[in-house]
């Protein structure tokens, strides 16, 4: 709880989100895994929630979702609400997480599925159609995020906790 300074958070997190957004739209959007795209901004928000807890998790999730809504075609606020709630709970859950190095990757998988599930639920509730995203796509997106998580989780840790990782 004592690692990162306010400067690291206020500068590091927006920068991480912007880089994630650019990579999502201009790089990973062209590299689907068997048709499924990763959710890189959600992954960064999950990593921030694991590092910084529920408050920063919720705020980062909200910002990440809002950016995705803006560059995608979903109604403004749908991904923001979904990612915000998911990352809040990830931040809350981190204190209950086991010390296994695989535990954060498990959290990434479950949180990615929950984030996508929530988006699909909200779009259905608000009459936007079911968006027909099948279970296989959700599964592949989770797998994609876990693979990227191998790189993103240590990177976020390094940026937000330089002393701890030195």
Partner 1 sequence: MVIFRRRPVLRRRILLILLVSVAVVLITMEFNSGGEPSSLRKALLTVVEPVESAVGTVTRPIGRFISGLIHSGDLKAENDLLTKRVEELEKEQADAARLERENDELRELTKLQNQDDFAYLTTRVSGVRVSNTDWSIEIDSGTENGISDGNPVLAGQGLVGRVTDATSNRSKVMLLSDPQFSVTVRDERSGVTGVVTGRAEDPPRLELVEASADVQEGDLLTTSGFEGSSFPAGIPVGSVVAVRTDDSGLTLRIEVEPFADATRREYVSVLLWTPSA
Write out the H or E segment, with its range, that includes residue 66.
Answer: helix 54-71
The footprint of partner 1 (CB under 8 A) covers: 22-31, 35-37, 39, 53-55, 58-59, 62, 65-66, 68, 70-81, 84-85, 88, 116, 119-120, 122-123, 126, 128-134, 137-138, 141
Using alpha carbons, select from 166, 160, 162 the residue that is nearest to residue 45. Answer: 160
- Helix and strand counts by DSSP (H, E) for the chain: 8, 0
Structure tokens belonging to residue 7: 């400067």
**Residue number with CB closer to partner 1 (14 or 165):** 14
| Residue number, 92 or 162, with CB nearest to partner 1 | 92
Which CB atom, from 81 or from 162, has the smaller least distance to partner 1?
Answer: 81
Residue 105 beta carbon to partner 1: minimum distance, rounded to whole angstroms: 20
CA angle 92, 93, 97 (to 5 degrees): 145
């Amino acid at each position: 709880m004592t690692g990162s300074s306010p400067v690291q958070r206020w500068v590091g997190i927006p920068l991480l989100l912007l880089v994630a957004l650019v990579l999502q739209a201009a790089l990973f959007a062209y590299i689907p895994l068997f048709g499924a795209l990763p959710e890189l901004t959600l992954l960064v928000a999950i990593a921030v929630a694991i590092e910084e807890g529920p408050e920063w998790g919720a705020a980062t999730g909200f910002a990440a979702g809002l950016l995705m809504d803006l560059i995608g075609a979903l109604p403004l606020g749908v991904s923001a609400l979904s990612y915000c709630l998911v990352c809040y709970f990830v931040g809350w859950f981190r204190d209950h997480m086991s010390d296994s190095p695989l535990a954060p990757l498990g959290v990434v998988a479950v949180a990615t599925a929950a984030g996508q599930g929530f988006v699909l639920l909200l779009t259905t509730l608000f009459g936007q159609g079911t968006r027909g995203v099948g279970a296989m796509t959700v599964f592949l997106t989770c797998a994609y995020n876990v693979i990227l998580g191998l790189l993103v989780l240590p990177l976020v840790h390094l940026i937000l906790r330089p002393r701890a990782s030195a």
